[in-house]
Structure 1
């Protein structure tokens, strides 16, 4: 089995693990309640409530399986997206529809049993059944929201720990590989002064390089995020620097639509996609220009980079940059982000989407 196959099966294994956890908890709870009822009202009354001696095992098993499925849907497909995205109207509508279907199923189970061998119907009126069902539905929703909040809190805590570990690793890597920044910037400043009169473009390139490296080496706080405008400004400097390197011959299409500029993004996340295109893209094809598209609204940021693949020998790459971006996005935004990669033999594109 390949790594790609394992990645495809990972969500399946995760869902089964969630279902098994709920099954174990709900089974333990159901057995405890069953034993409590036996101790409270005696075995004969309790068994009769579960449909009699012939159907007690079937009805008990049905209750456990049904409860496991119901809580799995409520927690992981209704409550968890609600807690993470805060989209109350959509979540409430889905929840009401699901509970209506569940109520219809429960009604048919209690009042419209087809097979008499399952056991006698519970002798309650439809009105009592409806009131009891509504109360139980409210309790189940509250329990599901509680567990969803607990799961989300644990994920946030785990992400923060992972971010702290990654920050420490990045600091250690910087200490290991970077040269003295003061020496570097002093040297660039000297070169800029010497070339300003004789070669203004070269001096401008040195100035750009100094600002690019200063931005990359700066400390941007615990989470490593910067205002979108600052990241975009740095990204444009990287594009301009590459144009200077190649005598302004690169075929580049840049589109920007920013309605909200106060939002923050992970440092160098957009820049990494730009640098990846310069490294692996065909930069001289007029018909297939390297494309950068940035759209930022109040609730959403999307940045897409598309390029035709470079022919000939490929530069060695371990994909560390893109992998790092993916991990940081996942740790910072969880389900609110996506990193989409589309690739074929000739073309490559990737897109960052952040929902705020």
Structure 2
């Protein structure tokens, strides 16, 4: 809505400037008195000037933003062609009544224009404004594409920087974890198991998937459970977690770490010790739908720092993978936080 108002105001400002320029040109060409007579006498002079500016701005706004730009982007010639024909038909009928029933001079006046002349003039002007609208639509679309390319370049550089950050030698990391696991296995089996879980979770997170980072649901669920187990070990198995799972078909694909991220956020920001408000994790998967819900009571006191990129990343990849076939809902109030994903297969 805000963008539409901005477009309307820009069109109005540009057309007003253009109208003033044309008016001044006509004054210089044929004189002030003659030019004013063409717009009417008395109060009709101001009405006609305002009407001309508002009507012109509206016409160009519709033609550029609702017909020409969608035509360039979608190439739906037939649909938009019919819309354009309907728009110009309504516009011509409106202008006819305005000129001949509201503001026109009488047939006996020197300034009278016949209906045939009006229709011919209207047709020529319609052709002209179509070309003008397409010209500006091409410029606007080109600018949008240029900005989009620049944004994609920025995102690409950011992704490359992130890749560099994560290129701390994984072999060194996993070798170190393997060493710690071996050293602690005999003296503290639970700590050794935690190290093993951490190693497997990080291996999964750093693995090379396809460009969208999609994995089988079964694999994502497996590592989500490891994250739950890892957190239980961290908190001496005192976390209040209610887990429900019903999977009829686990051959579907989901974005890597999508479910893991939501669970991690619940452990990071939730109140994990409230007997009456467990962290709830609910997963159902059928041949037609995947449903996943994570809810938690919010933790009181200082919050752990967060850059807020996890949820945004999940949203973007769900959109790329499933488009309108999915919904990702975030609900929260003062006490509770809920994430809900529905994917129609």
Q: Which TM class, normalised by the smaller chain length?
A: 0.5 to 0.7
The corresponding residue for 1:8 is none
SS of the counterpart of 1:251? strand
Question: Aligned match of 1:150 in 119, 142, 150?
Answer: 142
* Structure of greater relative contact order (alpha carbons < 8 Å, 6+ residues apart): 1
* Residue 280 (structure 2) pairs with residue 307 (structure 1): no
C-alpha displacement at 1:241, in angstroms? 1.0
- Quote the Cα distance in structure 2 between the aligned partners of 1:96 and 1:257: 53
Question: Aligned match of 1:228 in 214, 231, 234?
Answer: 214
C-alpha displacement at 1:213, in angstroms? 2.0
Q: What is the 5 A alignment of 1:1-356?
A: 12=2, 14-34=3-23, 42-43=30-31, 47=35, 50-52=38-40, 54=42, 55=44, 58-76=47-65, 101-113=90-102, 122-125=113-116, 127-128=119-120, 131-132=123-124, 135=127, 138-139=130-131, 142-143=134-135, 145-164=137-156, 166-167=158-159, 170=162, 174=165, 181-190=170-179, 206=195, 209-217=198-206, 225-229=211-215, 235-245=220-230, 246=232, 250-253=241-244, 271-281=260-270, 289-291=280-282, 305-310=293-298, 313=300, 316-322=303-309, 325=312, 329=316, 340-350=329-339
Structure 2 runs not aligned, ≥5 long:
none
- Quote the Cα distance in structure 1 between the aligned partners of 2:81 and 2:184: 65
Q: Is the 8 A contact 1:282 1:307 kept in 2?
A: no
In the superposition, relative to structure 1, how do residues 74 and 138 fare at CA in structure 2: closer, same or farther (>3 Å)?
A: closer
Q: Is the 8 A contact 2:250 2:285 kept in 1?
A: no
How many residues are paired up?
Answer: 325
- Quote the Cα distance in structure 1 between the aligned partners of 2:154 and 2:17: 33
- Quote the Cα distance in structure 2 between the aligned partners of 1:87 and 1:296: 35
In the superposition, relative to structure 1, how do residues 218 and 181 fare at CA in structure 2: closer, same or farther (>3 Å)?
A: same
Across the aligned residues of Structure 1 and Structure 2, the Cα RMSD in angstroms comes to 5.6
Q: State TM-score, norm by structure 1.
A: 0.61
Q: State TM-score, norm by structure 2.
A: 0.62
Structure 1 runs not aligned, ≥5 long:
1-10
C-alpha displacement at 1:139, in angstroms? 3.7
